Amino acid sequence: MIDKYRTPNSRCAVERLENRELLTASATFAETILPVRVSDVESYQFRDLDADGSSELVVHSKDSIAIYGSKGAISPHFDLSQSIDSHADQIDFADLDGDRRLDLLLADVASGVRWHRNLGASGFDDNARPLAEVSGVAEFSPFDMEHDGDVDVAVSFQDGVILTLENENHGTNFSLHQLLVSEMKSTNMRTASIASDVQQDLLLTNAS
């Protein structure tokens, strides 16, 4: 059964609406406040970070990323397992080093894109590794540009420039390439195989 989650306000924790029946039009939900206390929540998401079949809760605020491990199957609850003090405007996850564990990527407009390696049982490396030490980043999106099995990263900038960070050796080296200059000045970028040719395309949108 599928549960719903929401953040009623920016100072809230994350509220779990437990689905007690099959997800139908008449499904009932019981409200439960998870023990998550993070001010100024920017976003949250669920990811299986340790490949154990259950999802961890990741709460992103302006100055930290808090990771809560899921405990229990029938009555899940979340305990804080790691907190990373780092300013970020956007976070995402991708396996940059090819070890089948999701690494943490983050970016902010002032200092560019960087990543924390997923070390497995011990969590994420506290030390961030730079991907692109550049300013003016608007958005980034992990994708396999060359369909070679390595995760590359597309980066859009506030002036409309779009760069790609080519993953050349399982996360040990990234080369920077200018892809195009978009008149749209994208504020939202996604990737998908639009032509069904296994190649990943870029989709750009702008709020204005």
Same domain, 75 and 45: yes
Same domain for 59 and 39 = yes
Residue 10's pLDDT is 47
**Residue type present at position 48:** D
Q: What is the mean pLDDT of the chain?
A: 78
| 63 and 117 belong to one structural domain | no
| pLDDT for residue 32 | 52
Domain that holds residue 48: 1-85
Q: Give the total number of structural domains in the chain.
A: 2
The set of residues, in sequence order, having a beta carbon less than 8 Å from that of 39 and lying 6+ positions away, is 10, 11, 61
**pLDDT at residue 15, rounded to an integer:** 58
- Quick one: pLDDT at residue 21? 54
The pLDDT score that the predictor gives to residue 12 is 46
Residue 169: the pLDDT is: 78
Is residue 106 domain-shared with residue 132, that is, in the same domain? yes
Single out the residue of 141, 131, 137, 177 nearest to residue 160, CA to CA. Answer: 137
Domain final residue, candidates 55, 85, 115: 85
Q: Is the pLDDT of residue 1 over 50?
A: no
Question: Which residues, at least 6 apart from 195, have a Cβ–Cβ distance to it below 8 Å?
Answer: 201
Domain end among 53, 70, 85: 85
Average pLDDT over residues 179-192: 72
pLDDT in tens, 68-115: 887 766 566 778 889 998 889 999 999 999 999 999 999 998 888 999
Considering the domain architecture, whether residues 56 and 118 belong to the same structural domain is answered as no
